[in-house]
Amino acid sequence: MGHTKAAVLVVVLAIAVLGLATDSQAQLQNGFYTGKCRGNDVEAVVRGIVKARFAQDSAIVAHLLRLLFHECGVNGCDGGLLIDGTGTEKTAKPNLSVKGYDLITNIKTELEKRCPGVVSCSDIEILATRDAVNASTGQGYAVRTGRRDRRRSVATDVNLPGQDFTVPQAAAFFRTLGLSSDDMVVLLGAHTVGVTHCSMIKKSRLYSYGGKAGATDPSMDPELASTYKTYVCPNTASSDNNIVFLDDRSSASKLDNSFYKMLQRRRGALMVDQNLYNDGSTRWMVDRLANTDHFRWLFPQALAKLGEVNVLTGTQGEVRRVCTKFN
């Protein structure tokens, strides 16, 4: 009898542990909203609004990719970044330049008219990003839905990778999300449509590399460094907000692999990006993405994986009526 009880207990414990590991992701599903929105196709509604925005403003792709990373990188994909108010995630320094909130609000407003209280803000973020990528590349990919919104948004939770991170530092962060260093290299490819500002590279790469006054990062292509110092980011405070493209300017609005080709030529603007090529542990992956068309299908896969980090499902959390405040 004792043995039987012990065996039952082991089985129950094993099931409980498996439940902890997979429960949330297991409850996400393709087409979660089918038949739940009074005859409306939720995903078609989102796609229509995103396509219309993309036609007016192609930069929305970069804005949504960044919003998604800043969302899912803090407590998972839970809508926490969307909350307004003092001391929320939105007010943390890395998030002050995040854009695209208005599009999420527009989508939520339309869906609330069609089926109130059904579609979560966190699912809208995932779907909108997917549809922006699709609008840019013509390539769709499946994402599972069924997330719910967390009742938490605290600025001090925000601890995202810095622009000067080494590969081990960045990889450690991605590991906390359950993502590999390969996923990291692929996801940083979002910078193919990104921009930054001179303030992010002047000190660390152009004028005081390694803390030495006047030193320039030797891993940066000298011609590029000279262009930055002469024209884009001269060493005066007035250049701090000048825009720096993270990819070749001719390709700056295309989601493609040219970002990795830039890294091969030592023309990455941010140190965290160029380090992917400087570091032997990730260089092979940069070479693979630069020299093949694998980015085209690996990037959507990595985005889908990022979108399933630490989600709430079932009866956890809530489905917000308004994305900027808790119910």
What residues are annotated to the active site? 70
Residue closest to 271 by CA, chosen among 300, 305, 244 = 244
Residue type at position 41? D
Residue closest to 314 by CA, chosen among 29, 91, 8, 49 = 29
Show binding-site residues for heme b: 191
225 within 8 A of 274, measured Cβ to Cβ: no
Say how far apart CA 268 and CA 257 lie, in whole Å: 13
Show binding-site residues for substrate: 161
To which residue do tokens 């590349």 refer? 137
**3-state SS class at 61:** helix
The secondary structure of the chain in percent helix, strand, coil, rounded to multiples of 5, reads 55, 5, 40
Distances in whole angstroms, Cα of residue 217 to Cα of each of 119, 189, 275, 281: 48, 22, 11, 20
- Which residues are CB-neighbours of 158 under 8 A, at least 6 positions away? 70, 74, 89, 92, 93, 94, 95
240 within 8 A of 202, measured Cβ to Cβ: yes
Say how far apart CA 188 and CA 178 lie, in whole Å: 16
